[in-house]
Every structure is written in structure tokens, then in C-alpha cells.
Amino acid sequence: MKKHNFGAGPCILPQSVLAAAAAAIKDFNGIGLSVLEISHRTKDWEAVMDECRALWKELLNIPDGYQVLFLGGGASMQFMQVPYNLLNKKAAYLDTGVWANKAAKEAKLFGEVEIVASSKDKNYTYIPKGYTISKDADYFHITTNNTIYGSEIHEDMDSPINLVADMSSDIMSRPVDVSKYALIYGGAQKNVGPAGVTFVIVREDILGKVDRTLPSMMDYRIHAKEGSMYNTPPVISIFIMKETLKWLKSIGGVPEIQKRNIAKAELLYDEIDRNKMFVGTVNTEDRSLMNICFVMAEGYGDKEEAFMEFAKKAGMVGIKGHRSVGGFRASTYNALPIESVQAMVDCMKEFEKQNA
């Protein structure tokens, strides 16, 4: 049976990307060796790094003065590496959920952390607005898409200080004005590839300003100077990321995928709002286009397990909500086709017909 992969991460990848990865693992560029077993100091490999960087710059319109780095350790390591490189005295954080909290927790190891606003009072079902960002902080950290709670900051904000964003789960889902950010980071496995590689887009002029001495592996400047090959890079993850970006470019790039993502999200949110058995959990204007969270409506709480079984039988995968929200979460990342969303909607309609 056809599976519809709504998993929150690692994400669904295009079939053509998986085929290209399988081929390169068997025989890379027709050289008779696997991409896994060649030196990363060869021309063939360096061409992959160059192409991947060029695709990032082209697809996101990254201006001059920024470096694009491919590192290890996941977004979770960036929670520590960002303050290591940027926090001298104080940093400001916006508390919009689990990941934002984890980021702030690590920053506290390096200095003072000010939480400028939080939506914890309503279990992170909205994005705080109307707060003031302290001008004396070294940077302001935001999580643009809250993967667990399904809320999203849809616009590039103006910040009076260096803006740092964890874009793990909405990178390349919409055009971004990179010039408004000092640093953007994320794990690749939510929207641009598999786990194992982390992207960091950093404006060069913000580096080298902290008083502490940085270990080499923590220093963005060293990774920039070495073209993200200070040590052996995670080759297969980078290869698959490059293929994923090539696919994105081939279908029309970020503006086109944004259109598709909006269409997918509208289709599902419209059904959640129409169907009397389900209800969305997030403030309407802050709803994520990537992670769509909903629960059983009042009076239907006892049907949750039944719907889960029903959806599973129809081929839905990865729709169980995170334990801190409950209910359901359908992740509609770039590679998820609208046909899968339609299948989910049909499933919800049929369940309502049989049960409401």
C-alpha cells in the first residue's frame, strides 16, 4: 500500500533524490568507487561541496558577506556553538517552545540570558508579539518554526541587534530575506536532506567579537576558511542535501515550493476547521505551514485511538502528536506531495461520516 509520510523528522525525501543517493553509493560519478569510500580531498568530492554551497546561495538569495557552512552535531550543537561564538555578556531569546528552551538553556552556560517573551502560558499555542528586544544584548535568538507545537513566525522581523534564527524545520519552505539575519542554522533532516549535516549561514562581520578562546572545532571562522572541510565532512548527508536542493531548483525553487506548501497547509487546515470531530491547537494566524497540529474536538476525545488506527490503515505514517501536545501532527515538508494531504483529508472526512 502507498504510504503517506507525515513524519516530523527525519523528513520525507523526493524519490529521485533517494535514487541518486543509491547510485552514488554504488558507483560515484562512474569512477568505480562509492561516494562513501573516496577521499574528501578529491576533485570529484570538492565539486559536490561547491555545488551544494552554490545551490544554497542561489536558492535563498544569500548576499555577499555571508558564509554557508556544513557542520556536524545537529541543530542541538548549534544551541551551544552559537553562544560560544557570539555571546559575550548577554543574549536575548524568544521562548516559543521546546527547541527554543533548549537553545536558551545552553546559552546560559556562556552568559546572561534574557527571555524577552514567552507563550508558555498557553502551552505555546501562539507566537508572542509586541515585546521589546534589549539593545544591550549581543544577539536575539528566535525559532522560526516550532516543530513540536506547530506554530511559525511567517515573516522576517526587524531586530535592532543581531538576529539569530533556528530554521531547522522551515528552511527553504518560503523565501527568506537573509540580510535581516546575522546567523541562520538548522539540522538538514527536516526539510533539506537527511540527518548528519547541519547548515549554518553566518554574516562574517559578526565573528571574532567574543573574549573567550574558541576550540578549533567550535570556531565558525575555521570552518569557513577550510570550506567546511576542517575535518572529514559527513559526505553522504551532504551529497543527499545537494541532491535535495537540485530537486528544489528543478521544480522552480523556493517561490514555487512556497506556493505548494501554502496549498497543502490550506487544504488540511480547511478540513480541520470544517470537520466537527477535529480542532486545531494553534492560534490561526500563527499556524505553521510545516507541522499541522490538531486534536479531537470536544465530545470526541474517546475517538482518538480509533482515528489513529483508521488513518494507519489508510497508509498515513508519522501523524502521532508530540507527547507535550497530544492528538495529531501532520508534517507537510517540501517533499510531501499534495496527493498525500488529500488522502489525509479524505480519511478525516470518511471517519467523520462513520463516527460523528
Ligand X SMILES: *Cc1c(COP(=O)(O)O)cnc(C)c1O
Residues marked active site are found at 99, 166, 190
Between CA 187 and CA 194, with CA 188 as vertex, the angle to 5 degrees is 120
The stretch among 107-115, 166-174, 266-274, 340-348 that binds ligand X (CB under 6 A) is 166-174
The stretch among 52-60, 165-173, 256-264, 347-355 that binds ligand X (CB under 6 A) is 165-173
The closest alpha carbon to 67, from 171, 226, 181, 204, belongs to 204
Q: Please, what is the minimum distance in Å from the beta carbon of residue 281 to ligand X?
A: 17
Interface residue with ligand X among 4, 141, 174, 190 (CB under 6 A) is 190
Q: Does 288 bind ligand X (CB under 6 A)?
A: no
Q: Does 334 bind ligand X (CB under 6 A)?
A: no
- Residue whose CB is less far from ligand X, 28 or 220: 220
Determine contact, residues 31/209, Cβ cutoff 8 Å. Answer: no
Would you call 97 helix, strand, or coil by DSSP?
coil
- Residue 319: CB atoms within 10 A of its CB come to 23
Q: Does 53 bind ligand X (CB under 6 A)?
A: no
Tell me which residues in 90-119 interact with ligand X (CB under 6 A). 99
- Residue whose CB is less far from ligand X, 289 or 347: 289
Q: Does 200 bind ligand X (CB under 6 A)?
A: no
Q: Does 74 bind ligand X (CB under 6 A)?
A: yes
The closest alpha carbon to 201, from 65, 47, 48, 40, belongs to 65
Determine contact, residues 134/149, Cβ cutoff 8 Å. Answer: no
Using a 10 angstrom Cβ sphere, with 0-12 exposed, 13-18 middle and 19 or more buried, the burial of residue 17 is buried
Would you call 168 helix, strand, or coil by DSSP?
coil
- Residue whose CB is less far from ligand X, 144 or 162: 144
Question: How far, in whole angstroms, is CA 94 from its chain's centroid?
Answer: 17
- Residue whose CB is less far from ligand X, 187 or 280: 187
97, 200, 202, 212, 293 from 63: Cα distances, Å:
30, 14, 11, 29, 35
Which residue type does 44 have?
Answer: D
Q: Does 175 bind ligand X (CB under 6 A)?
A: no
Q: Please, what is the minimum distance in Å from the beta carbon of residue 11 to ligand X?
A: 10
Q: Does 168 bind ligand X (CB under 6 A)?
A: yes
Q: Does 147 bind ligand X (CB under 6 A)?
A: yes
- Residue whose CB is less far from ligand X, 82 or 341: 82
Q: Please, what is the minimum distance in Å from the beta carbon of residue 66 to ligand X?
A: 21
Please report, as ranges, the residues that interact with ligand X according to CB under 6 A. 9, 74-76, 99, 143, 147, 166, 168-169, 187, 190
